[in-house]
Structure 1
Amino acid sequence: MTELTPMMKQYLTIKKQHPDEILFFRLGDFYEMFFDDAEVASKALEITLTSRDSGSGKKTPMCGVPYHAAESYIARLIDKGFRVAICEQVEDPRTAKGIVKREVTRIITPGTVTESSMLDETRYNFLIGIVKDDLGYGLAVAEVSTGYFAMTEITGPMALTKLIDEISRLKPVECILPDELKENRDLQGKLFKFRGLAINHFNWKSFSYSTSYRGLIEHFGTSSLEGFGCEGLTLGIRAAGGILGFLKETQKNTLLHINKVMPYTTDCYMLLDNATRRNLELTQTIRDGQKRGSLLWVIDHTVTAMGARLLKLWLEQPLLDIAAISERLDAVEELANNTIKRSDLRKLLDRVYDLERLAGRIAYGSANARDLIALKCSLEVLPQLCYLLQDSYSPGLVVIQETIDCMDDVVGIIRDSIHEEPPFSLRDGNIIKTGFNPEVDNLRTASRDGKQWITSLEAQEKERTGIKSLKVGFNKVFGYYIEITRSNLAMVPDEYIRKQTLANAERYITPQLKEYENLIMGAEDRLTQLEYNMFCEIRETVNREVARIQKCASLIAILDVYQSNAEAAIRNNYSKPVVKDSDVLAIKEGRHPVVERMLAEEPFIPNDTYLDGSGYRLDIITGPNMAGKSTYMRQVALICLMAQTGLFVPAENAKIGIIDRIFTRVGASDDLATGQSTFMVEMNEVANILNNATSKSLVILDEIGRGTSTFDGLSIAWAVAEYILDTGKVGAKTLFATHYHELTELAEIFPGVQNHNIAVREKGEDIIFLRKIIPGGADRSYGIQVARLAGLPSEVLTRAKEILATLETTEDLAKGQREAAAGRKKHVRENERLQLSIFEEPGNTNPVLEEIKKVDILNLTPIDALNLLYRLHLKLREE
């Protein structure tokens, strides 16, 4: 250290405090990185790695990025999993004595990003914190860019599974864990499965109850947490306190926009596990993870960023409260029935910027003048929104109209002080309006008058000296000057003072020119600094109203979701569902919202559904592949989910009894990370359903038991169906698609079971899918016909038909084993066990068959036939 330059010593001292971050060290107009940081960053950012003398006699690796373009480089580092510490110059280099003082002013991690250029405006950027004790888990959720802050506790049986399901819903970008959970392999293993989730550890003391409680009440300025409704939530308080401590340490900010913490319970919402979210493709498709092709893609007609985020949040948290569902549906109905109001509403909302994140940047002190103008323009829409909603009658819209705060005072402050089209940088001046502050006006006038005098000086001097090529110029080194070409030097007045010699000209100054230069430069410097200081005061004034801005943003987001749902209902011909506290699920002419939208050349065939808790609990659905069984079952699940979200549904009408959970077992694949086979993954999902489904649940089972042998699979499928049917164990409303046609016999054995199949029409060796659900079970799977549609070679199809014809001769045996699996007594004849194999290898001969081939049947006497039969019988017994 003694050999290093003072600047490099300063760098290494600060870097020692931030070993896990890439340090962006401010040097003038650049952020520089040195040593290992430079080598890592240069590769990650694909920028040039250079070096500089650090005073040690060795070249130090170095790379850098311009400060005005730093956001894009930081975003790339964050995307690659790095953390970035921003080290700024915290004193003016012009007045500093010795080396400029520098400090880390912020640490940027995936969950603490606030810059709009680094965020997806349609989704929340959640940061979560987790703690654990013997009772279960505490979970806290923060969204730094908007100020959202919530906590919950997940305890009891299957607590870890429920925690992972909740994390799957939130899709956080960063998880903070106390050091004590570093060695918790169960939790860590499950968290590592979340793609793109950064996992960091933080001082465990920040997650202790006493530290957390004290930190929360100090931040909110309260004496307890009773006012937030979370007093006594020990685990939740620990998680929330740990998150807040992490934010304070990394953001170096008061975080005033995080002004409340909201407790919530997962019991308030329809629970959707990770498999169900994936299988129903609520917000992204299974195939490529894109929004297009998902339910969100179909229904999203929001026009504000806040509304887009809220709609996604609602879609993944369907309600269980009938009153709350009805309030949403009534608001959607009013807007759906009033085209003019809905159209006007969309036009007004389209003028509203992202108020939630604007409020966050204001609280952070990172908002610029354009952000304040965007805030003003957004708030100016509010009186028009209130006027448009004044004749509303649905409770949801009435509450918004009566609650919304137009914030005329905030609008007035910004309107009176900030230019309508200010520069992007706060150091470029021209931010404050003329007439707002006398000192700003005087400095602006002085600067303007001085520039006008200098502009007129050139014409005056040309006329006075007779030098036509004379010109007045300016550069940052010499300031203002008069330039005269060499051919005219003899005409230069005596009072001109030579300042610089060029190849073809001389540059001069005059005392009067320097006087005006000092006037202009001094005025501009003072004006820029004054405008910056005044803007910071205005921003701080607005910051004191951040809570009001956040409340307004919340109401506008809800209003945007209402109009979006109404727009989707009209465009897609959806109807208002009736949601009640009953066991009846009755859908008339239901449709799959996504498949219907994707179909371009043919109409979607609608289907009815009826399930209840008594006579129609389990529906066995059979039919060929590609006929539409999975589409039908998914559409039922989506209609129920949409109804409880507060959406109109794709059906002629629908009566939905409240559903507490939707389970889906649709498709599976190997989980290589944990060494689980397809069948094991499938059985895990089935176990989850059987252990957690209730009589209020909706269960979707698609082809369970396929991953093992036929009889094992059939036996498991049969046993699962019986278990679900038992009201003392599950009793859930269930749609069960299967190719095991034997399961249709359940309807003859148990009450509460019905059979349906997908209608098809045979046309020669081809089939036509009619897509219609009809009563009864299918007697065939049409597998070979479907294979033909897929383009299998004709030779394969021909051989498959031959094998199928042979296998069908074992029908009695199969039936006997089916009945045995069901516990029904059935005698299996001994000779059925002796069915000849059709898979004889070429060259192998069966002596019985060979002897039969040699028999001359036409000349065989009865007694010879009996003797032959006896000999064959003995040979078979010997084998």
Structure 2
Amino acid sequence: MTWISKTVTVTGLVLLAHACYSAQEHSVISSTVVHQGQPQPLATHSLPIDISIEALVATLVVVLGLVMGTPKLRPIKWHEWAGKIEREGEAGFRTGGGEVEKDYRGNPFSVLETRPGFIDIRKQRREFTSWVKAEENTPGSSRRGRRREGRSWSGHNSDRGNSIGSSSRSGSTRQRARPRPTDSSRYEKESSLGASSSIRHSAPSRNQAQYTDPSIPNDHAGVRNSSDLIQHEVVMAIDLKENSTIGCAYFSTTDGILHVSEDIATASLDIAEQFVVHIQPTSLLVSARAPASFRDHLEKITTPAGVEEDTNGESIPGLSRPESQAFRQLRYGGCINMNNQISLGCAGALLGDILRRRSVGFLPDGQVAGALFRVAAIRMFYLTTYMYVSTDALLSLQILQTELHPNSQAWGPDANKSSSKESLSVYGLFHHLACTPQGRAKLRQIFLRPMLDIKTISERQRTISVLLQTDNADKIAQLTPILRKIRNMHTTIAQLRKGIEFPSSGQSFDRGVWATIQKFTAQALTLRGIVASLNGGSDIVIFQKLMESLEPASLVVVGDMINKTIDFEQSKARHRSSVRTGVDSQLDQLKRRYDGMDSFLTEVVNHINRELPEWARKYVRSCIFLPQIGFLTVVEPNPVTGNGHYEGEGTAVGAWEKLFTADGAVCYKNSYMRELDDEYGDMYCQIGDREVEIIHGLADKVLEHEEPLLSSSDMCGEFDAILALALGAEKYNWRAPHMVEASVIHIEEGRHPLQELAVPAFVPNSCHLGSNQEEGSPRALILTGPNHSGKSVYLKQTAIIVYLAHIGSFVPANQATIGLTESILTCISPRESMSGGESAFARDMKQVALSTKSSTPRSLILIDEFGKGTNGDDGAGLLAALLDYYLSLGAHCPRLLAATHFHEIFENGYLEHHNGLRLAHMNVRLDWDASLVDDQVTYLFSLEYGHSTSSFGGRCAALNGVPSAVVERAENISKLLARNEDLSAVCARLSQAEEEKLEKAEMAARLFLCQNFGDQDGVDGEGLEGSIKETLEAILSPNT
């Protein structure tokens, strides 16, 4: 506490004391006046205002002084403390006086160092010690030379920009126990690319509600397992140069792989959106040098939760051995294309962000950042191998669609639980069929990335066909329960590295790390055996990869080590990991002693009774052993004194020490108990320490097989995703499409996969689009016809079938031949948003502009009711001009499907000269003699070629509950417009009822004017009034 805070506190105390004295004096004066009997006003219990204010101010001053004198709190930094313990031990936390600093008092340093979370630290310490000894024994080595070498590893800031860093920090700086130059194979993939200044967008994807990564399972079918609750992050960096060249890189914590893309020259903003759609990042890094329009576009498509500017250039930790830049470039050149300068700069920015995250140490949910943000490999990825589908197209076609989870309010703010779930979507049809977390992640990735490689697509279709063979049905039925027992090894290995051996509270030990790995090895081997026995699968690529990845040698070794070491039954009973008998002789001996504690305590009680006076023996109940306290003697309590009836009187050792009273007995510590403590008191702790050492050794051995376990887990997820596609194809009765290079679409009896599940009976329709050279296969098909007849469903089902074919899935059609489609572009009912600041028509025009710029002869374009957001004549003109533009491209025209109610564009033969155009409509059956409106028009939902001018909008309105009077009036006006009559004259014409009413009014007016209501002689006032009233009633009478 400083002198200022002391002065403030003392001042406040003086003021408070004066206020208390004044209050006391006031109460005494008041009581004296009342006692003397002087008349006083009504008594009140409140103090004068000046005393109250003084007391309040004094209290605030005292509190201010205490707050000022409070020492500054320092944050808990377990990661740094652990390293300090490793380097200096307990001495690193002592003051100059030899006492532990206040901030660290109470921290169990010895226990902290032996926590399971420090598996790597102890192993690395042993490796470091052996390396130092080996260096000292090496001829010509010197400690000074090693120091110079260590300094040469220290990093410096690399050139900012899109270049490779020229140096890296020492491995001992970031990996404290890994300075050994010869042991860097596990980190040789960590790049040292230069980090550039960036603007960071924390951007959850719009397709997930809170980020949902394509590699992240979004399982809402049940309660989430704690083993899956690992933080999943997808960090993406993107940059656009002045020459319109885009580069991109992204890192996913799910597999620890840094992906670097090819630089794309002369790219547009649509390419950036395609990167975002395919990668689905949770965090987005954008170069501060990128154009403002580029950054604004990314903000719109990602709807960022926050923007943080970071302009600091940092050095990136690289390899743990010194090497020249030329050698690093040579080695990196085997993984990535070093000519992609922009993408390499993005990778450097990513690594800088990963470094900052790793430096945090522990994440808010207790995870180790160093283990989570760890680059395991570097790979290239190519955007040109995937179909381009915009975000609007994904939402319009309902490929993926999320909604708020109904239990999100009950869960509360938990970062490990997503507040959204998959809504009615095409992906949602298959989501529940995947059994493993990694399988659901891979399935979502498949749906987000339709491919353009016919070989890969055909291979997936062949795999699904083999899985659906009737002779494999029994084996496929066995695969589902096996896959449900397989967990994600990335999560489990991360927990093992942190030392988390047990699941969260309330769950069984079967959910722990050791049980999970043991089950995985057993189930993976069973899965391998079943897949090997599938008929017709000898030449299936994924089956071969599965057989290679699931290495029996590694899986058997890992499973056998765990089975021989961990006693699962005993672990369940003790709620901690226990080692089997026979693993360690020293541990077995300690356990035998501990298990014989009951008989040993009986002997101890007998020994005590022999040394006690005869009268005191009846008061000694027993002897107990508590691991935290040691051996204790239990004595009957004396209800009067609260102590025991006997406390060691009459013995040579003197009085016993009372420790506590519990359960109606008093526990004492005496010299004999202390002797037992010295000899046997640490037995329980020795058992725990020895088991910890054995289990840590087991963890080290299991981590030696980390790569086979992770690759096996990934392959199980990939197989699970393909199996889900097969099960979905069987469940929904889908067929395999035929993929060709030609730009054609031939679908026989196609169905909408979502609509057919929502209606009692679905009417399938065919679609034929092809090149101009193919007879009967136009490039463009324009639909007309009534409202509510199924035009939009037909457009969407065709696009969905094409999309499903490109992910390698079966399609909802009896037969389909699909040509490679580079992009699917839509102009369908854009999303309404107040934040966009645009009208619906403006969004329509943006979608059309995108389709005209991005379309190729291999594109599929859907146009639904374009132009309806503006004046009818302008909308019709825009649609006609757009159709004429596409059709005039001839052989380069994309495949086009459009639906419209602008029938005037087909008049006067404006579009008839285009050979690639065909008109069609959805058929209806008319029965005007039907008494009910619902029966007059029957929608058949079947496609027929030809032009239809009937819209039956009034009938559609009647079916949806619009009043019949409004419907009839609308139909009459429609008929007048069809005959080109003048609406103003017709609307001014009176109806027959109105004419009859007007004639009656005219007759009444004439009769009224013919009457004489003047004074009549001989008639008094009352008689005159009655006569007028009778006259008026006669005029207004309907019979007049």
TM (norm. structure 1) is 0.75
What is the DSSP-based 3-state SS (H/G/I as helix, E as strand, rest coil) of the residue aligned with 2:923? strand
Pair 739,4 (structure 1): closer, same or farther in 2 beyond 3 Å: farther
Contact 2:753-2:797 at 8 Å conserved across structures: yes
Q: Which deviations, in whole Å up to 9, do the C-alpha atoms of 1:851-874 show, x marking residues without a partner? A: xxxxxxxxxxxxxxxxxxxxxxxx
Decide which of 347, 350, 353 is 2:481's aligned counterpart: 347
Q: Tell me, in whole angstroms, the C-alpha distance in 2 between the residues paired with 1:686 and 1:736.
A: 12
What is the DSSP-based 3-state SS (H/G/I as helix, E as strand, rest coil) of the residue aligned with 2:730? helix
2:532 corresponds to: 390
Q: Tell me, in whole angstroms, the C-alpha distance in 2 between the residues paired with 1:139 and 1:173.
A: 15
Instruction: Decide which moves more: 337-346 or 467-476.
Output: 467-476
1:621 corresponds to: 783
Q: Tell me, in whole angstroms, the C-alpha distance in 2 between the residues paired with 1:540 and 1:54.
A: 54
Contact 2:277-2:448 at 8 Å conserved across structures: no
Matched, 1:142 2:251: yes
Pair 478,551 (structure 1): closer, same or farther in 2 beyond 3 Å: closer
> Which residues of structure 2 form unaligned runs of 5+?
6-62, 95-99, 119-173, 175-201, 205-210, 218-223, 360-369, 406-419, 504-511, 991-1040
Instruction: Decide which moves more: 89-98 or 254-263.
Output: 89-98
1:501 Cα offset (Å):
7.0
1:304 Cα offset (Å):
1.0
Show the 5 A alignment for 1:823-862: 836=984
User: 1:486 corresponds to which letter in structure 2?
Assistant: N
Matched, 1:790 2:960: yes
Matched, 1:169 2:278: yes
Contact 2:240-2:294 at 8 Å conserved across structures: no
Pair 118,179 (structure 1): closer, same or farther in 2 beyond 3 Å: farther
Instruction: Decide which moves more: 560-569 or 343-352.
Output: 343-352
Q: Tell me, in whole angstroms, the C-alpha distance in 2 between the residues paired with 1:383 and 1:175.
A: 40
Q: Tell me, in whole angstroms, the C-alpha distance in 2 between the residues paired with 1:322 and 1:432.
A: 53
Instruction: Decide which moves more: 479-488 or 801-810.
Output: 479-488
Pair 539,231 (structure 1): closer, same or farther in 2 beyond 3 Å: farther
Decide which of 968, 972, 982 is 1:802's aligned counterpart: 972
- Larger Rg: 1 or 2? 2
Contact 2:245-2:265 at 8 Å conserved across structures: yes
TM (norm. structure 2) is 0.64
Show the 5 A alignment for 1:62-461: 97=94, 98-99=100-101, 125-134=233-242, 135-153=244-262, 155-178=264-287, 180=289, 184=292, 186-188=294-296, 190-191=298-299, 193-195=301-303, 199-206=307-314, 223-252=330-359, 253=370, 258-284=375-401, 290-300=421-431, 301-337=433-469, 338-362=472-496, 370-391=512-533, 392-404=537-549, 405-406=551-552, 407=554, 408-420=556-568, 430-450=577-597, 453-454=600-601
What is the DSSP-based 3-state SS (H/G/I as helix, E as strand, rest coil) of the residue aligned with 1:801? helix
Pair 114,402 (structure 1): closer, same or farther in 2 beyond 3 Å: closer
2:134 corresponds to: none
Q: Tell me, in whole angstroms, the C-alpha distance in 2 between the residues paired with 1:214 and 1:94.
A: 31
What is the DSSP-based 3-state SS (H/G/I as helix, E as strand, rest coil) of the residue aligned with 1:592? coil
Contact 1:180-1:204 at 8 Å conserved across structures: no
Instruction: Decide which moves more: 774-783 or 150-159.
Output: 150-159
Aligned length: 750
Q: Tell me, in whole angstroms, the C-alpha distance in 1 between the residues paired with 2:225 and 2:80.
A: 20
Q: Tell me, in whole angstroms, the C-alpha distance in 1 between the residues paired with 2:65 and 2:301.
A: 43
Show the 5 A alignment for 1:527-542: 527-542=687-702
Decide which of 477, 483, 486 is 2:638's aligned counterpart: 486
Aligned CA RMSD, in angstroms, stands at 4.5
Question: Of Structure 1 and Structure 2, which has the larger fraction of its residues in strand?
Answer: 1
1:94 Cα offset (Å):
8.1
Contact 1:579-1:656 at 8 Å conserved across structures: yes
1:529 Cα offset (Å):
3.7
Q: Which deviations, in whole Å up to 9, do the C-alpha atoms of 1:787-808 show, x marking residues without a partner? A: 1111112332233223223322
Pair 251,462 (structure 1): closer, same or farther in 2 beyond 3 Å: farther
Q: Tell me, in whole angstroms, the C-alpha distance in 1 between the residues paired with 2:328 and 2:707.
A: 14
1:313 Cα offset (Å):
0.4
Instruction: Decide which moves more: 533-542 or 324-333.
Output: 533-542
Q: Tell me, in whole angstroms, the C-alpha distance in 1 between the residues paired with 2:835 and 2:342.
A: 31
User: 1:591 corresponds to which letter in structure 2?
Assistant: R
What is the DSSP-based 3-state SS (H/G/I as helix, E as strand, rest coil) of the residue aligned with 2:925? strand
Q: Tell me, in whole angstroms, the C-alpha distance in 1 between the residues paired with 2:701 and 2:826.
A: 52
Q: Tell me, in whole angstroms, the C-alpha distance in 1 between the residues paired with 2:230 and 2:784.
A: 40
User: 1:620 corresponds to which letter in structure 2?
Assistant: I
Identity of aligned residues (%): 20
User: 1:142 corresponds to which letter in structure 2?
Assistant: F
Q: Which deviations, in whole Å up to 9, do the C-alpha atoms of 1:712-762 show, x marking residues without a partner? A: 100111111111223369511111011112345566332111111112223
Pair 443,136 (structure 1): closer, same or farther in 2 beyond 3 Å: farther
Show the 5 A alignment for 1:704-715: 704-715=866-877
Contact 1:131-1:207 at 8 Å conserved across structures: no
1:610 corresponds to: 768
Q: Tell me, in whole angstroms, the C-alpha distance in 2 between the residues paired with 1:760 and 1:127.
A: 53
1:265 Cα offset (Å):
1.4
2:41 corresponds to: none
Contact 2:396-2:828 at 8 Å conserved across structures: yes
Q: Tell me, in whole angstroms, the C-alpha distance in 2 between the residues paired with 1:273 and 1:286.
A: 20
Contact 1:123-1:308 at 8 Å conserved across structures: no
What is the DSSP-based 3-state SS (H/G/I as helix, E as strand, rest coil) of the residue aligned with 1:596? helix
Q: Tell me, in whole angstroms, the C-alpha distance in 1 between the residues paired with 2:706 and 2:329.
A: 18
What is the DSSP-based 3-state SS (H/G/I as helix, E as strand, rest coil) of the residue aligned with 2:562? helix
User: 2:272 corresponds to which letter in structure 1?
Assistant: L
Q: Tell me, in whole angstroms, the C-alpha distance in 1 between the residues paired with 2:905 and 2:951.
A: 14
2:918 corresponds to: 754
2:364 corresponds to: none
Contact 2:627-2:681 at 8 Å conserved across structures: no
1:784 Cα offset (Å):
1.0
Contact 1:303-1:560 at 8 Å conserved across structures: yes
Q: Tell me, in whole angstroms, the C-alpha distance in 2 between the residues paired with 1:438 and 1:186.
A: 68
1:589 corresponds to: 749
Q: Which deviations, in whole Å up to 9, do the C-alpha atoms of 1:91-133 show, x marking residues without a partner? A: 7798853126699999xx9999999978977996422123343
Pair 500,522 (structure 1): closer, same or farther in 2 beyond 3 Å: closer
